């Protein structure tokens, strides 16, 4: 143990032994920052004699906290490892000791998303709300926004109002937002539950109101260390500033180039501008990378250099040379997947285990083509933090509708008859099942027999049967893609997803549509609905069992903090990565940081892939700007990209970039704003859609509302300048 410092490089040793004051460490990917943190803790304990209970070490996940705790135990030999936890975990520790200050019991409950959804379910039932008012996911987001921004003093109601008073406030509410928000506060108070935001907010409130408690904790924590500082949000930053206010020993580690959680509230500026908030900051750079080959790092450095919001640095390789970063351009997504499969087979023949290979992607829907090929080739794979494509609810629902047209089987019937809601609930389903069992007929035939019964008159059972019968009579001779599109429309299923705001599910449906178009092209005349259902059974019945030695499939966000010998980064096309949802320059830089994180997960080899062809909407596919951002000296193209394709892609990217720059300079419009259009005159914004960049506006002189693109020249009433979006 006495030689534990000898394993550190010069920069790591400097970080470990610089113990006093404010210290900022800029640690690149694979630079050994976890080693530096754990050794610094050990140095404080072993060499300076600091008590472990006087040290706070903050990580951003419980998994990281557990790993850090084990490392420190191995270095100190002490079971007391101080406070090693997440911000929320540490606040929970404080509240367990100080909850009396807010009249909360020590046995309060920390709520997770499942708990919150159960509370929302109660509220929706009590106040007759539906998912059309707001999905549970949107309700959770809305509650968080209201707590953090719109009603930041909400906690005073939570603390000072009785359960009965909160209940009355909830029952008096009329607006769905207020109903949900105050219903949630009432449910929280009733069970003495606190969510993650509450833990930090109430801790800060106690510190603000009770100087003695704040001072107790400030004096207790002689040294504070924070990992992944680029991910810190406003509340966490405020808490950190408060806790270090006495001893003024604060050590932070982070990498601006790995800030990929701004959508969760992370503020990159806190790391970049740390020296503006704290005096005499010592900044230590840790650029040495022990993870990746020089070839991988040259490509990653070249990519991230295109960002402006960063602290300039290059990762410095330590490992020996490896193969060039390879970029494959396929004609179709199916060929892209097949190429990936062939490369993995080649790696396997070299003795490389499947478990050492990872396929990373921007969004889950991208896995469809990969899964199709892997299932055919019997390639073992495991999806992490996601569900196999054909096991996703919206895909199973949609395929069940297609099966109903042809087979009218019970399983498909159960999935579709009340999706969307047709008032055919448990009681009516129980009747159908009992009758079908007694008479040995299908559930669908049972429903047809009882359409005129009193039991089904208040339902939409008749419309459902008419829908199935219509398609059953008309599907022969029609293209599968045509049948699918019509069914999704006429059944109301796609409208239901749009109403719920389920963008990920809509993306998956779009991918299913694309897969059917690919199927039709490959099968030619055989491409009818019955043949397709037989074809797709191969995938829907695939073995979904987790395999120990299998290729890992995961999103880039899931891969953050992990490393793999061999990495395939797939779906590198404009609109896929970067995602089509990007609407600001800041968001585009975050996408580029996400690509940088993905590339730096690779230790020995890195493969980038993209596919030509057309998107489902008919628009051409272009290679991602992140491929073109990399100096071509650092990439081996297989085959070489045509100059025409590169020129077309750059032209598209230039137009899109110009659009983002102009959009960045325009004033923000919100619902209710009075605006003036150069042709339509004055009007009121009814709805904004940032994703599709559309305003819905009711103009005074027009009878109907108009959907107006962000490209239009609009002026806020009372403002002098027009917002111009592209000429």
What are the pLDDT digits (tens) for 458-501?
Answer: 999 999 999 999 999 988 888 898 999 999 999 999 988 887 76
Catalytic pick among 147, 291, 552, 601: 601
Is residue 111 predicted with pLDDT exceeding 70?
yes
Is residue 37 predicted with pLDDT exceeding 90?
yes
What pLDDT band is residue 135 in, cutting at 50, 70 and 90? confident
Question: How far is the C-alpha of 680 from the C-alpha of 676, rounded, in Å?
Answer: 8
Catalytic pick among 258, 398, 416, 609: 258
Q: Is 333 a catalytic residue?
A: no
Q: Is 479 a catalytic residue?
A: no
H helices of 560-624, where? 585-599
Of all residues in the chain, what percent carry a pLDDT higher than 70? 94
What pLDDT band is residue 34 in, cutting at 50, 70 and 90? confident
Catalytic pick among 34, 470, 485, 638: 34
Q: Is 33 a catalytic residue?
A: yes
Contacts of 108 (CB under 8 A, 6+ apart): 95, 99, 192, 193, 194
Q: Is 228 a catalytic residue?
A: yes
Catalytic pick among 227, 397, 494, 528: 227
Of all residues in the chain, what percent carry a pLDDT higher than 90? 57
Cβ atoms of 510 and 365 closer than 8 Å: yes
Helices vs. strands in the chain: H and E counts, helices first: 30, 22
Catalytic pick among 24, 33, 40, 267: 33
Q: What is the DSSP string of 127-189?
A: TT--TTT--HHHHHHHHHHIIIII-TTHHHHHHHS-HHHHHHHHHH--SHHHHHHHHHHHHHH
Question: How far is the C-alpha of 262 from the C-alpha of 233, rounded, in Å?
Answer: 9
Give me 444's structure tokens: 């669908």
What pLDDT band is residue 3 in, cutting at 50, 70 and 90? confident
Q: Which residue did the predictor score with more confidence, 719 or 115?
A: 115
Q: What is the pTM of this model?
A: 0.74
At residue 538, the pLDDT reads 60
Catalytic pick among 198, 228, 233, 590: 228
- Output DSSP code: residue 383: E
Q: Is 258 a catalytic residue?
A: yes
Q: Which residue did the predictor score with more confidence, 407 or 526?
A: 407
């Amino acid at each position: 143990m006495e030689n534990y410092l000898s394993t550190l490089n010069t920069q790591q040793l400097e970080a470990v032994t610089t113990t006093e004051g404010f210290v900022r460490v800029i640690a690149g990917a694979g630079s050994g920052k976890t080693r530096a943190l754990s050794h610094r803790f050990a140095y404080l304990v072993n060499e300076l004699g600091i008590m472990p209970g006087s040290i706070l070490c903050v990580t951003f996940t419980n998994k990281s906290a557990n790993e850090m705790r084990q490392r420190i135990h191995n270095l100190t030999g002490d079971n007391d490892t101080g406070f090693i936890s997440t911000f929320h975990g540490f606040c929970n520790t404080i509240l367990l000791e100080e909850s009396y200050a807010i009249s909360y019991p020590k046995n309060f409950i920390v709520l997770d998303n499942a708990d919150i959804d159960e509370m929302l379910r109660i509220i929706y039932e009590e106040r007759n709300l539906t998912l059309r008012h707001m999905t549970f996911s949107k309700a959770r987001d809305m509650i968080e926004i209201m707590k953090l921004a719109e009603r930041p003093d909400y906690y005073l109601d939570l603390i000072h109002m009785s359960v009965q008073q909160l209940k009355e406030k909830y029952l008096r509410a009329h607006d769905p937002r207020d109903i949900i928000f105050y219903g949630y506060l009432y449910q929280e108070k009733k069970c003495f539950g606190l969510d993650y935001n509450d833990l930090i907010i109430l801790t800060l409130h106690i510190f603000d109101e009770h100087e003695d408690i704040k001072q107790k904790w400030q004096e207790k924590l002689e040294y504070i260390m924070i990992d992944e500082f680029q991910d810190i949000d406003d509340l966490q930053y405020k808490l950190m500033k408060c806790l270090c206010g006495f001893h003024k020993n604060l050590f932070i580690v982070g990498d601006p180039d790995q800030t990929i959680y701004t959508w969760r509230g992370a503020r990159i500026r806190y790391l970049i501008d740390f020296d503006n908030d704290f005096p005499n900051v010592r900044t230590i750079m840790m650029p040495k990378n022990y993870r990746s080959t020089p070839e991988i790092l040259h490509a990653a450095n070249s990519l991230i250099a295109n960002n402006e919001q960063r602290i300039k640095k290059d990762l410095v390789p330590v490992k020996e040379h490896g193969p060039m970063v390879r970029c494959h351009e396929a004609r179709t997504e199916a060929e892209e997947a097949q190429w990936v499969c062939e490369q993995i087979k080649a790696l396997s023949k070299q003795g490389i285990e499947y478990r050492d290979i990872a396929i990373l992607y921007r969004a889950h829907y991208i896995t469809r083509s990969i899964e199709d090929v892997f299932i055919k080739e019997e390639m073992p794979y495991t999806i992490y933090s996601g569900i196999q494509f054909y096991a996703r609810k919206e895909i199973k629902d949609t395929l069940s509708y297609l099966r109903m047209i042809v087979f009218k089987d019970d399983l498909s019937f159960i999935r579709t008859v009340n999706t969307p809601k047709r008032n055919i609930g448990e009681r009516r389903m129980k009747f159908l099942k009992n009758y079908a069992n007694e008479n040995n007929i299908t559930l669908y035939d049972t429903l047809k027999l009882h359409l005129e019964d009193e039991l089904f008159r208040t339902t939409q059972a008749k419309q459902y049967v008419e829908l199935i019968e219509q398609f059953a009579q008309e599907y022969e001779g029609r293209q599968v893609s045509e049948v699918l599109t019509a069914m999704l429309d006429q059944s109301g299923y796609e409208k239901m997803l749009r109403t719920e705001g389920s963008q990920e599910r809509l993306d998956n449906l779009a991918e299913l549509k694309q897969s059917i178009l690919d199927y039709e092209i490959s099968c030619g005349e055989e491409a009818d609905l019955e043949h397709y259902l037989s074809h797709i059974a191969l995938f829907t019945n695939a073995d979904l069992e987790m395999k120990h030695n299998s290729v890992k499939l995961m999103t880039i966000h899931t891969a953050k903090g992990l490393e793999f010998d061999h990495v395939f980064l797939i779906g590198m096309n404009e609109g896929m990565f970067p995602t089509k949802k990007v609407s600001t320059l800041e968001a585009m830089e975050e996408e580029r940081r996400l690509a940088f994180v993905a590339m730096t997960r690779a230790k020995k080899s890195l493969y980038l892939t993209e596919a030509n062809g057309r998107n489902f909407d008919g628009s051409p596919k272009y290679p991602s700007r992140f491929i073109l951002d990399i100096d071509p000296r650092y990439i081996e193209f297989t085959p070489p990209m045509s100059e025409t394709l590169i020129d077309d892609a750059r032209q598209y990217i230039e137009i899109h970039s110009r659009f983002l720059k102009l959009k960045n300079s325009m004033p923000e419009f919100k619902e209710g704003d009075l605006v003036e259009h150069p042709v339509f005159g004055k009007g009121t914004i009814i709805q904004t859609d940032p994703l599709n960049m559309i305003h819905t506006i009711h103009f005074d002189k027009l009878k109907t509302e108009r959907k107006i693109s962000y490209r239009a020249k609009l002026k806020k009433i009372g403002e002098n300048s027009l917002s111009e979006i592209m000429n």
